Amino acid sequence: MNPVGTSRRSLLAASAATAATGLAVAGCGSGDDATVARRKPGQSIRMTFWAWVPGIDKAVDLWNRKNPEVQVDLEKVSPHNSAQYAKMHSALKAGNPPDLAQVEYMNIPEFLLERGLVELGEYGAGAQKDKFVGWQWEQVVYDGGVYAVPQASGPMAMFHRADLYEKWGVEPPATWDEYEATARTIRKEGAYIESFPATMGPWFAGLAWQAGAEWFRTEGDTWKIAIDSEPTRRVADFWEGLVRGKLVKTVPVMQSPWYSAIQSGEVVSWLSASWGDALITGNAAKTKGKWRVAPLPQWKRGAGASANWGGSTTALFRGARYPQDAMDFAVWLNTDPESVDLLIAGGYGWPAAKKGFEGSRLDRPSDFFDGQKYNDVFAASDKAVDTSWKWGPTTVAMINHITDALNDAINSKGSFTDAMRKVQQQVISDMRDKGLKVEAA
Amino acid sequence: MARTRPHTARNRAAVGFLLPFCVLFLTTFVAPICYAVHQSLFRVERKGALGLGGETEVFAGLSNYTHALEDSQFLAGFGRVLLFGVVQVPVMILLATVLALLLEAASARGVVFFRTAFFLPYGVPGVIASILWGFLYVPGISPIVEMLDGAGLDVDFLSDGTLLWSIANIVTWEFTGYNMLILISQLKAVPDELYEAARIDGANAWQVAVRIKLPLIRPALVLTTVFSIIGTLQLFSEPLVLKPLTGNIDTGYTPNVHAYNEAFGANNYHVAAAEAVLLAVVACVLSFGFMRLVGRRGKVGDE
Domain that includes residue A422, residue range: 156-308+386-440
Give me the pLDDT at residue A36, please: 57
Residue A375 resides in a domain: no
Q: Do A121 and A163 lie in a common domain?
A: no
> What is the pLDDT confidence band of residue A30, given thresholds at 50, 70 and 90?
very low
Q: What is the CATH number of the domain that holds A427?
A: 3.40.190.10
pLDDT in tens, A114-130: 889 999 999 999 999 99
The verdict on A164 touching B (C-beta cutoff 8 Å) is no
Cβ-based neighbour number of residue B56 at 10 Å: 11
Confidence (pLDDT) at A6: 38
Indicate whether A41 belongs to any domain. yes
Residue A146 lies in a domain: yes
Domain match, A286 and A397 both: yes
- Give the domain ranges of chain B: 67-293
DSSP result, A160-201: EEHHHHHHTT-PPPSBHHHHHHHHHHHHHTT-BS-B--TT-H
Assess B134–A contact: CB distance below 8 Å, yes or no.
Answer: yes
pLDDT at A18: 37
Any chain B CB within 8 A of the CB of A415? no
- Phi, psi torsion values for B234, nearest 5 degrees: -95, 10
Q: Is residue A160 part of a domain?
A: yes
Mean confidence (pLDDT) of chain A: 89
Question: What average pLDDT does range A16-36 have in this prediction?
Answer: 38
Residue B132 forms contact with A (CB below 8 Å): no
What confidence score (pLDDT) does residue B203 get?
86
Do A166 and A122 belong together in one domain?
no
Class of domain B67-293: mainly alpha
Asked whether the beta carbons of residue A403 and residue B49 sit closer than 8 angstroms, the reply is: no
Percentage of residues in chain A having pLDDT higher than 70:
92
Report residues of chain B scoring pLDDT below 50: 1, 297-303
Residues A344 and A249 in one domain: no
- Whether residue A94 is found in the same domain as residue A228: no
Choose the mutation target among B170, B237, B254, B267 for the interface with A, i.e. most A CBs under 10 Å: B267
Arithmetic mean of pLDDT, A238-264: 93
Taking CB atoms and an 8 Å limit, are A404 and B43 in contact across chains?
no
| Same domain assignment for residues A114 and A172 | no
Residues of A in contact with B67 (CB under 8 A): 433
CB-based contact, A421 to chain B, within 8 Å = no
**Same domain as A313, residue A240:** no
Type of residue at B83: L
- Do A265 and A250 share a domain, yes or no? yes
Convert the pLDDT of each residue in A379-425 to its tens digit. 999 999 988 899 999 999 999 999 999 999 998 888 999 999 999 99
3-state secondary structure of B141: coil
- Cα–Cα distance measured from residue A79 to residue A94, given in angstroms and rounded to the nearest whole number: 20
**CA nearest A408 in B: which residue?**
B248
Domain count for chain A: 2
Q: Do A100 and A36 share a structural domain? A: yes
Q: Does A263 touch chain B (CB under 8 A)?
A: no
A73 backbone dihedrals φ, ψ, rounded to 5°: -95, 110
Chain A residues touching residue B141 (CB < 8 angstroms): 7, 256
Q: What is the pLDDT of residues A280-299, one digit of tens each?
A: 999 999 999 999 999 999 99
**Nearest-angstrom CA–CA distance, B272 and A164:** 50
Q: Minimal Cα distance from B127: which residue of A?
A: A15
Same domain membership, residue A320 and residue A288: no
A33 Cβ under 8 Å from any chain B Cβ: no
Q: For A67-161, where are the alpha helices, taking DSSP H only? A: 83-94, 108-113, 134-138
A213 and A316, same structural domain? no
Which pLDDT band holds residue A69 (cuts at 50, 70, 90)?
Answer: very high
Chain A touched by B67 (CB under 8 Å): yes
A216 shares its domain with A256 = yes
ipTM of the complex: 0.79
Query: What pLDDT shows up at residue A181?
Result: 97
User: What φ, ψ does residue B284 adopt, rounded to 5°?
Assistant: -60, -50
Mean pLDDT along residues A241-268: 93
A191: distance to nearest CA of chain B, Å?
17
